[in-house]
Every structure is written in C-alpha cells, then in structure tokens.
Amino acid sequence: MFSSERSCAVQVKLELGHRAQVRKKPTVEGFTHDWMVFVRGPEHSNIQHFVEKVVFHLHESFPRPKRVYNFTHWKWEKWQMSI
C-alpha cells in the first residue's frame, strides 16, 4: 500500500539559556537583578520558520507562572524550570 503523504524530518539547533545582570538600583520591591531566559537559534539565527511559540513554566510563586514567547522578570531565585 502506498501513502500519498510524504514525511519529512528537519533538525534545528536551538540555544536555551539564561542570564542575570545586577541592577544599578534595586526595584521598589527590593529586586537586585534583571533576569532573562531565552530560546534562540545559534548565533541569533532566525528560528521563526521552525518554532511557533515557546512556553515557559515558572515556579508557581510567580504571577502568571505559564508564559508564552519572550520572558523577563525582576526576581532572583533558584528553581527548576521546564521549557
């Protein structure tokens, strides 16, 4: 039996990471760092043709712990995060 649908596989390299930077002045809440997590292509290459969205599942203590696309939050803690 022959299938009219053809399958295709594409391998795309992604960089997953985070960075923290000390703020010049703490926020009103007392946060001392700006923290960012990212998913991107190597050397900032465009991945929009392969990745529709990225969902970040943060610790439940964060407001809106499930976030989509770009994420920046001003809090410094240690936890595990699923991407």
**pLDDT one-digit tens code per residue, 33-49:** 988 888 888 888 888 77
For residue 2, what pLDDT is reported?
A: 57
Alpha carbon distance 72, 49 (integer Å): 23
Smallest CA-to-CA distance from 62 within 74, 45, 51 is with 74
Whether the predicted pLDDT of 80 surpasses 70: no
What residues does each domain of the chain span? 15-73
CATH number of 15-73: 2.60.40.1970
pTM higher than 0.75: no
Per-residue pLDDT of 40-79, as tens digits, reads: 888 888 887 777 777 878 788 878 888 765 433 333 344 4
Find tokens 């964060």 and name the residue: 62
